[in-house]
Amino acid sequence: MKLVKMSIAAAVLLGASAFAIDNVKVDGDAKLYYITNNAGTGSLAKKDSSFADTAIRLGVTGDLMKGVSFGLTGYAVSTLGLENNLVSGTFTGAHGVTGGNGAAFLHGLNGGTQVNDTSWMGEAWLAASMGKSTAKLGRMALDTPLAFSETWSVVPNTFEAAVLINQDLPDTTLVGAWVGKGNGTSALGAMSTLNSLGAAADGGVVGADAKFNTFMNGGAYAVAAVNNSFKPLTAQAWYYNVVNVADAYWLQADIACSLVKDLKIGAQYANMNPKGVLGNTADSSAYAAKLAFEGVKNLKVSAAYSEADKDGTLKIANVATNNLEGAQSKLYTEAYWAYGYVGRAGAKSVTVTGEYDAGVAQLGAYFTNVVNKNTNVADLQEITLSAAKDVGPLNATLAYISTDTSVGSIGVQNAGKRYDSVLAMLKLKF
């Protein structure tokens, strides 16, 4: 599913397996993603309200010497020419365009534009370990609460960064990071490529030509501590200095309840304080709480609530992609598909989810309701039903999404009218 789940591995930026590589390992996958909606045309599968893309990922990791490892990951995307007859939008902003009116095509009007195939090196890093410390340098994926690679689309955004992780303190992981560049879509403005549809429904998390540019205004520093001294509890604290843009922090605690078996409780709080190029603008903050229960065989259910301050310039969402539009949020209440709502100033959000392993398929049901107390800011109600099945190395996912946004909202797709979307994703691992 599209929703990113927080985990201790994500919290420390890098999975431990990245530093336990035996010799050389090659892996990858091929994807075909398609989505259609009836928001503008009144019916599904119409060219001007459909998006499609294909992508190939190939990764290589290995040891250069004892304690020193490397990783290379290449990406290639192609529409396979589908924009000529079946769709009018791509699933990523990485494509270059030739001829015609590129802006017109990317807003769903072809205008004679050719959408080019694009390839790039998304990861190229070296890692060195000594004792309980590991340093990683180069181009890489990151997973932190407020700056991360969004992996739900056909290709993820990545970063040029330096990361240091230390685990000398018992049950504690300390993290320090510098992020210099990223290839995400414009973080502080309108999407530089695809139309945002008010909810990033096109998946444009990677910027034009996948080009790496200075992260935000002048890079960013991050430090964090993740502690598990009390075994049922994982607590994490993050601080960010986004140079000349904002100071921010994220606090989170997740605990397995001792009174009710299989019940987990979580709490989050985040604050973003603008500075520099954002001038004297309003702080953003939000809190969230979650209950999750896995006491019934093959069934997982959860419910979450979040609330953001009425005022706020930046959203409590990813600052590495399009923060002012459809960037994904790590708040527990994030929707299945319509990103950009729960972290917005004034939002009060509720999410209820259920996932069941029926044997023949993994079934999911997801409900998100966002009410915004600010004038002319969109409310959202989203209901999603999904089914996923693994057949050997092939994963197939099909989802039906019902979206309803409030009347009078500015810049929101089909405001005031419910519309349907059908999402199909194929992923072949190799």
Phi/psi of residue 55, nearest 5 degrees: -150, 145
| Dihedral sign from CA coordinates of 83, 88, 92, 96 | positive
Q: ∠ at Cα 267 (262, 272), nearest 5°?
A: 155
Give the chain's residues under pLDDT 50: 1-21, 101-111, 189-201
**Res 409: pLDDT:** 65
Work out the widest C-alpha separation in the chain, in whole angstroms.
Answer: 64
- The pTM is what? 0.90
Rg (the chain; Cα; Å): 21
Give the amino acid at 2. K
**Res 12: pLDDT:** 40
- Asked whether the beta carbons of 229 and 15 are under 8 A apart, the reply is no
**Res 40: pLDDT:** 75
Domains recognised in the chain with CATH numbers: 8-429 (2.40.160.10)
Name which of 210, 7, 232 is nearest 93 in CA terms: 210
Give the amino acid at 401. I
